[in-house]
Amino acid sequence: MFRHNTLRYAVLIFLAGAALFQALTAGYFGLEILTEILVLAILVLALDIVAGFGGMVSLCHGALAGVGAYAYALLSAKAGIAPPVAMAGAVAVTGAAGWIIGAVCSRSHGIYFIMATLAFGQMAYSYVFEAPVFGGDDGLGGIERLDLSLIGLDLNDSRTFALFCLALLGAVYGAAVLILRSGLGRSLSGVMHNEQRMRALGLTVWRVKADVFGLSGMIAGLAGVLAAQHVMFISPGLLGWTVSGEALVVVILGGLGTLVGPLVGAAAFVVLKHELSAVTTYWHLVVGVILIAVVISRANGIFGWVEARWGARIERRVADATRKQQPGEVARDA
Amino acid sequence: MAHDLGFWTLQALNALQLSMLLFLLSIGLTVIFGLMHFVNLAHGSLYALGAYFAASLAAVGGYWTGFFLAPVAVAGVGILLYSGLIKRMRKSGSMAQVLVTFGLIFALLDLTRIFWGDLALAIEVPALLDGRLGFLGVEYPTYRLFIIALGLAIFGALAFVLGRTQIGAMIRAGVDNDAMAACLGINVERLFFIVFCVGCALAGLAGAVAAPLLSVTPDMGLQILIPTLIVIVIGGLGSLKGAIAGSLIYGFVQTFGAVLAPQLASVLIYALLAAVLVIKPVGLFPAKG
């Protein structure tokens, strides 16, 4: 089951503080990058829930986010539904898509699971690419952002939009922790560690997998909706398998199954991408080499490496510090 | 429908040609997976490298220089990858292998861009195979017939080697149970190495023969990767029968789908893959029962 420790809390507070600082002080370009990080962070949280805590390595989360983005665009721009309802509708559609994919793929394991999710992702990609209603290769434009003028917020301002995304990321993180701590989340980690035993205990394994995949799909859908609102334009490229691959890379670079790690990974990936593409057009080469190095080093990503090295020590320090505040306990130990 | 027999023959030949190209790629990938349990997503990049080597060599010494030397060059790259990276990743899980080879795709993509630039290259079809040939009442480009013949020849050769020779028996034993094969005195590691090199060479060969048909671009490896993976997952990992069956299914569904139901063509093959995975999660003809 997912637990917080001192290091995780510290990194979370640091990340939240840094994002808030950036959101309040940065110029237009900085805010764009921050929003990109926040949207990617929501997507990789969705992926970490299934891959890190359920062993379901999915190569369709980019496509799920794309489905969310297209569903929102169609509902709001084409069908003329009010943005808040369209947003909820898009999240629901993506959740349903995720549930179905999870249910269908629940019997596959390992490389077959990866391939099956890849197939579903590509299926969505080629359908969106071909069907005229989605605008084909040209994509869809004119996507509106949510109207929050009722509570005095103008989301067309990029600073407000970045803060809005940050608030949603916080909510999604909280939801992810709640999901993983619930009965469903505990069943999921049971299934990951020993599916046979969980089945023998009377658990309907495919339901657990499908439910979690559906919830994860909803989060991915939210990321897609925000991405669509951010850029106000969508194209089929959003659903391509390399987007899902990149999301997986971010999760791995950050630290699989830590929830905090993927957030670190998202920030590192986007900043690295922008810094490198300013220097060279061959930034894929650098990212590829870093990815290979991280996987070969056998560390669980950046955050996993830090946690394995210093996590235990920090934990001990904190425990010592709290003990010193209670002298009675020390005396009893001696 | 108002199509005559010649039309169907033409489509069947197109489908067969696509199948054979995919077969050349998928056989290497599937046997590498079956024998080594190694997931090599970078196989498509090796195909792209093959096309680039062929284009460069063809510019120097004509088409046939590229045709014969490109597979050797790609096998050389394969040896480098094997000794530098893949040997080390052998004992890791499939997840780590997927990620390392995904990183390799990124790296190789940009390396080809650095060496050959972003512009598409083209190769001339050799004079010997230029032109058209009358075949079952239709005119068909000789070069495409050559690809079909080449694919069938490679299939025949591999079927013979895997089914009738001692090294084939050793490979089949290794796919079936590598620990037991090692106990019986087979040098499984060396076998892996040979199979990996042959797989890389076949990917390079596929790139070299595909180069005159398609334009040679850095992302051609990415484009072919998904069809290749679909082929081996439908066919079942590790078996020659699976690779040829998967290739034919893919080639025919794709080609005839595009003719009969253009709206659904692109979705059809993925739906088929999903159906196969639901009904037989390990593919149609897996090497292991």
CB contact under 8 A, A295 and B103: yes
Model confidence at A124: pLDDT above 60: yes
Confidence of residue A333 (pLDDT cuts 50, 70, 90): very low
| Total domains in the fold of chain B | 1
A126 part of a folded domain: yes
Judging by beta carbons within 10 Å of its beta carbon (0-12, 13-18, 19+), is residue B9 exposed, middle or buried? middle
Q: Which of A9-13, A239-243, B71-75 has the lowest mean pLDDT?
A: A239-243
Partners of B139 in the β-ladder: B134
- Comparison of pLDDT for A77 and A198, the residue scoring more: A198
Reported as a single tens digit per residue, the pLDDT across A25-51 is 888 888 999 999 999 999 999 999 999
Q: Does residue B32 carry a pLDDT above 70? A: yes
pLDDT at A264: 93
Q: What is the mean pLDDT of residues A251-267?
A: 91
- One-letter amino acid at B176 equals D
Strand (E) or helix (H) holding B140: strand B138-141
User: Is residue B233 included in any domain, yes or no?
Assistant: yes
Residues in chain A within 8 Å Cβ distance of B33: 111
Range of the domain at B33: 5-279
Residue of A296, A297, A300 for testing the chain B interface, max B β-carbons within 10 Å: A296
Closest chain A C-alpha to B108 CA, distance in angstroms: 7
Least confident segment among A61-65, A179-183, B1-5 = B1-5
Which percentage of chain B shows pLDDT scores above 70? 98
Which one has a higher pLDDT value, A218 or B175?
A218
Asked if residue A190 lies in contact with residue A198, where contact means CB atoms within 8 angstroms, the answer is yes
Which of B111, B222, B270 shows the shortest C-beta gap to A122? B270
Q: A206-224: buried (b, 16+ CB within 10 Å) or exposed (e) per residue?
A: bebbbbbbbbbbbbbbbbb
pLDDT at site A326: 56
List the single residue in A104, A114, A288 with the smallest CB-CB distance to B107.
A288
CA distance B1 to A211: 46
Residue A76 has pLDDT above 90, yes or no: no
Average pLDDT value for residue range B104-130: 84
Q: Give B70-85 pLDDT, tens digit per residue.
A: 999 999 999 999 888 8
Structurally, chain A folds into a number of domains equal to: 1
Do the domain assignments include residue A247?
no
Is A104 part of a structural domain of the chain?
yes
- What band does A331 get if pLDDT is binned at 50, 70 and 90? very low
User: Is residue B287 a part of any domain in this protein?
Assistant: no
What integer is the mean pLDDT of B263-282?
A: 81
Q: What is the mean pLDDT of residues A134-162?
A: 79
The answer to ipTM > 0.90 is no
- pLDDT band of A325, cuts 50, 70, 90: low
Which residue matches tokens 């000789």? B142
- Give residue ranges of A with CB < 8 Å to any B CB: 57, 104-105, 107-108, 110-112, 114-116, 118-120, 122-123, 126-127, 129-131, 241-242, 245, 248-249, 252, 281-285, 287-292, 295-296
Nearest to B274 among A104, A281, A290 (CB): A104
Q: What is the CATH number of the domain that holds B184?
A: 1.10.3470
Alpha helix locations (H) across chain A?
Answer: 6-25, 28-54, 61-73, 83-105, 110-130, 158-181, 183-193, 195-200, 205-231, 241-254, 260-279, 283-296, 301-306, 312-324, 327-333
- Domain membership of residue B33 (yes or no) is yes
As a whole number of angstroms, the distance between CA A91 and CA A110 comes to: 28
B183 vs B287 pLDDT, higher one: B183
A270 confidence band (pLDDT: 50, 70, 90):
very high
Does residue B17 lie within any of the structural domains?
yes
Report the share of chain B in percent with pLDDT over 90: 24
Best mutation target among A123, A241, A244, A281 (most B Cβ atoms within 10 Å) is A123
Query: What local confidence, expressed as pLDDT, does residue A279 receive?
Result: 83
DSSP 8-state code for residue A199:
H
| Cα B250 from chain centroid (whole Å) | 13
Å from B182 to nearest chain A CA?
25
Does some domain include residue B50? yes
Q: Which of B33, B106, B222 sits opposite A288 (nearest CB)?
A: B106
Q: How many angstroms separate the Cα of A305 from the Cα of each of A9, A176, A255, A295, A310?
A: 16, 22, 8, 11, 9
Residue A153 lies in a domain: yes
Does a structural domain hold residue B285?
Answer: no
pLDDT tens digit sequence for A153-179: 777 888 889 999 999 999 999 999 999
Note the pLDDT of residue A327: 54
Residue B288 within a domain: no
Q: Which residues of A are less than 8 Å from B278 in CB distance?
A: 104, 107
Nearest by CB to residue A284, choosing from B96, B109, B233, is B109
Q: Which residues contact A209 (CB under 8 A, 6 or more apart)?
A: A54, A56, A102, A103, A105, A106, A188, A191
Which residue range forms the structural domain that includes residue A145?
A: 6-239
Quote the mean pLDDT of chain B: 86
Q: What is the mean pLDDT of the segment spanning A295-308?
A: 84
Q: A119 contacts in B (CB within 8 Å)?
A: 230, 233, 270, 273-274, 277
Place of tokens 């830090």: A306
What digits encode the pLDDT tens for the residues A176-233?
999 999 999 999 999 998 989 999 999 999 999 999 999 999 999 999 999 999 988 8
- A303 pLDDT more than 90: no
Amino acid at position A79, single letter: A
